[in-house]
Every structure is written in C-alpha cells, then in structure tokens.
C-alpha cells in the first residue's frame, strides 16, 4: 500500500478547491437561471431529473430536496429511459439533465427522445458548448476548471457544484412559492425535525392529570396534590375556576423556611401569582422557548384563564424537541 504524505494538506486542498468552485459558479447565476426558475414556477407538470453515473446520484438527491420543499419531482435514470422509463414523462413536465460533458453517448441518444415528448429540457452542465446545451431550452451553468483529484478524473468538484446548484434551484423555488415551516412539516412528519414543526402543546398536556387546588385550600392539600400528580407543581384557582397562581416544590420549601407552623396558612399565602401560561394550540417549540427564557420547567396550559393542564420540560425531552 502506498503511503500518502500530507493527508491533512490533501484534504484541505480538496475542500478549498470545491468551495472555490461553488463561489465561482455563483458568479454565473444570471438571467438564464432566473428564466429557468420562472419556468418551473409556472409549469403545470413535475420536474423529472436524469443523469448517468455520479450525476444520477446527484439527480436523486436534488429530486429529494425538491419534493420536500414543495416542487413535485422524480428521478429517471438516463440509461433506463431509453428502455421504457421515458414513459414516466407526462404532458407539462420539465426535464433537468445533469451531465458534466453534455456529450456522452447516453445523452446524445436521450436528448432527442426527451424533445419528442414536448417536455422543456433544462441542462445542468459544465461544458456549455456541448450537444446537451445546444438542444436545451434552459441552461444551468455548472462549469468547473478541474476535478479535485490529482488526476482530474474522479467526479468530485463537478458533482459538488451540481449538488449546490440544485440546492440553489430548490431554495429559489421554495421562497418564490412562499413555502412555510407549516408546509415543510407536511412533508417531514417523522423524527425530531417533524415534531419541532408540527407538535403542539395540545398533543402533550393530556398525558398528565391536572393538579389543581382552590386558593383557600390548606398547605397539606397543596402538598398532597403536588405529590399525587407528580408534576412538581399545582395550579391555584379562585371560586370561578380562573387561574390565579401556581405552587411549586420550591414554593413549599421556601414556605417551610419562612414559617414555623402551617396553621392558618392557605394556598393563597404561598402561591406565586400570575404564573407563566401557554395556549393549547401553541407549538411545542414555543413552550420550550418560553421555559428557557423564564428558566422554568413547566407551564400551565390555559383556555380563557381556565387551567386545562400542564406541559413539562420532560415531555419535550421525551419527544426529542430539546
């Protein structure tokens, strides 16, 4: 096995060259790119992305990004297209063909077939003098000076630039459509990311019994309510069942330090008035932000000042929100 010298230097060189290539390609974003975005915004069909080799892998990633950000897309392998998969192109679709050279045999066979379907053809290509460019309706310039490997052969810089250009395209479409975090949540319901976007307080507070006492309840009743419901706190309400305060474990400890006897004391005497609350339809992330900003571990869920339940920091931890 040949020992490679200066491994760190080689790695840094690759990263610097690929980063520089992305910066250079950003300077080539022009009216052609904008025209392509506008076409895709107004097209009634889907985006079909095709390529061969490493370009096909990049195409699949761009398809995934477009689908998750509101632009319907699908992948078509260029080699399979000429053996039946071309039938996936429907009326109104647009086809993005990714190729470094734009002159491979597969591309030269595929391009006329795509044009015959009536679909608009978009070239994402490094060689702007290629066969693919000459027969495309729109061009996404992915030009590079060289690949990052010492032989200038392995698809490295070219695939990185194509991937970044695909991201730029997807984000432009996303922003032009006014795609919101709620829209994003529709396509990402699973995992911690999805939960951050769609999980609401109403999904969490019913997991617990509501600890609640009256203002005139005894200290013993308050302690028993806190202990039995195991949330470390209890809501305090007046005769109209409106929330007036909260008693936490900390309030009980402070009360024991400040009073020699519990006789004559009621919940009203030791509660913290005007506690922090949140509405049931608020997102769980809002609850987390409020807890963090106030340095507390629970919030009372209210509806028109009537306590409905508690949401605790532990609930957010269990759901992976934190």
Kindly give the confidence (pLDDT) of every residue in the chain, 322 residues in length, as a single tens digit, with 9 standing for 90 and above.
566 678 899 999 999 999 999 999 999 999 999 999 999 999 999 999 999 999 999 999 999 999 988 899 999 998 888 888 889 999 999 999 999 999 999 899 999 999 999 999 999 999 999 999 999 999 999 999 999 988 888 999 999 999 999 999 999 999 999 877 666 666 665 555 666 667 899 999 998 999 999 999 999 999 999 999 999 999 999 999 999 999 999 988 988 888 877 788 999 999 999 999 999 999 888 999 999 999 999 999 999 999 999 999 998 888 877 6
Please give the annotated binding residues for Zn(2+), written as ranges. Answer: 77
Question: Same domain for 137 and 42?
Answer: yes
Distance of CA 214 to the CA centre of its chain: 44
195 within domain boundaries: no
Question: Same domain for 156 and 207?
Answer: no
Question: Same domain for 78 and 23?
Answer: yes
Question: Same domain for 251 and 217?
Answer: yes
CB contact at 8 A, 244 and 212: no
* Phi and psi at residue 202, to the nearest 5°: -60, -20
Question: Same domain for 208 and 121?
Answer: no
Question: Same domain for 48 and 88?
Answer: yes
CATH number of 250's domain? 3.10.580.10
Question: Same domain for 261 and 159?
Answer: no
Question: Same domain for 24 and 106?
Answer: yes
CB contact at 8 A, 140 and 123: yes
Question: Same domain for 228 and 302?
Answer: yes
Distance of CA 303 to the CA centre of its chain: 30
CATH number of 118's domain? 3.40.50.10490
256 within domain boundaries: yes
Kindly give, in sequence order, each residue whose CB lies less than 8 Å from that of residue 175, ignoring residues fewer than 6 positions away. none
Q: Name the residue range of residue 140's domain.
A: 7-179
Question: Same domain for 85 and 227?
Answer: no
Please give the annotated binding residues, written as ranges. Answer: 77
Split into its structural domains, the chain has a count of 2
pLDDT score, position 191 = 58
How does DSSP assign 137-157, residue by residue? Answer: SEEEE---S--SSTTS-SSSH
Which pTM was predicted?
Answer: 0.69
Beta-strand pair 277-279/306-312? unpaired
CB contact at 8 A, 37 and 62: no
Domain stops at, among 145, 179, 213: 179
Question: Same domain for 64 and 103?
Answer: yes
Residue whose token pair is 């900390």: 250
Sort residue 102 into left (φ over 0), alpha (ψ -120 to 50) or beta. left
Residue whose token pair is 């919940």: 267
Q: What is the DSSP letter of 2?
A: P
Total residue count of the chain as it appears in this document: 322
Distance of CA 202 to the CA centre of its chain: 22
173 within domain boundaries: yes
Residue whose token pair is 């080539």: 28
Residue whose token pair is 């990402």: 188
185 within domain boundaries: no
3-state secondary structure of 170: helix
217 within domain boundaries: yes
Strands (DSSP E) found in the chain: 47-51, 73-77, 94-99, 120-125, 138-141, 212-214, 233-237, 243-248, 272-273, 277-279, 298-303, 306-312
298 within domain boundaries: yes
Task: Please choose, from the candidates 249, 247, 219, 252, the residue with its C-alpha nearest in 3D space to the C-alpha of residue 235.
Answer: 247
112 within domain boundaries: yes
Question: Same domain for 115 and 259?
Answer: no
191 within domain boundaries: no
pLDDT score, position 175 = 92
């Amino acid at each position: 096995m040949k020992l490679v010298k200066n491994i760190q230097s080689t790695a840094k060189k690759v990263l610097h060259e690929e980063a520089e290539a992305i910066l250079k390609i950003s300077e080539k974003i022009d009216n052609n790119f904008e025209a392509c975005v506008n076409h895709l915004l107004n097209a009634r069909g889907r985006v079909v992305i095709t390529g061969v080799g490493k370009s096909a892998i990049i195409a699949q990633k761009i398809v995934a990004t477009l689908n998750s950000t509101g632009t319907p897309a699908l992948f078509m392998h260029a080699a399979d297209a000429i053996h039946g998969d071309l039938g996936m192109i429907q009326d109104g679709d647009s086809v993005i063909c990714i190729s470094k050279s734009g002159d491979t045999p597969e591309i030269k066979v595929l391009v006329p077939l795509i044009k015959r379907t009536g679909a608009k053809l978009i070239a994402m290509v490094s060689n702007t003098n290629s066969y693919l460019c000459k027969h495309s309706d729109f061009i996404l310039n992915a030009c590079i000076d060289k690949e990052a490997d010492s032989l200038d052969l392995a698809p490295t810089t070219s695939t990185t630039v194509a991937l970044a250009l695909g991201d730029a395209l997807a984000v432009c479409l996303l922003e032009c459509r006014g795609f919101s975090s709620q829209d994003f949540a529709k396509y990402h319901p699973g995992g911690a990311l999805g939960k951050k976007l769609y999980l609401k307080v109403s999904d969490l507070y019913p997991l617990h019994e509501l600890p609640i006492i009256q203002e005139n309840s005894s200290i013993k009743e308050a302690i028993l309510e806190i202990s039995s419901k195991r949330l470390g706190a209890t809501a305090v309400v007046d005769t109209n069942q409106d929330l007036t305060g909260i008693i936490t474990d900390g309030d009980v400890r402070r009360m024991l330090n400040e009073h020699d006897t519990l006789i004559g004391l009621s919940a009203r005497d030791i509660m913290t008035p005007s506690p922090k609350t949140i509405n049931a339809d608020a997102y769980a992330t809002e609850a987390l932000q409020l807890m963090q900003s106030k340095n507390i571990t629970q919030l009372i869920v209210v509806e028109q000042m009537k306590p409905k339940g508690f949401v605790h920091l532990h609930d957010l931890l269990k759901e992976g929100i934190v």
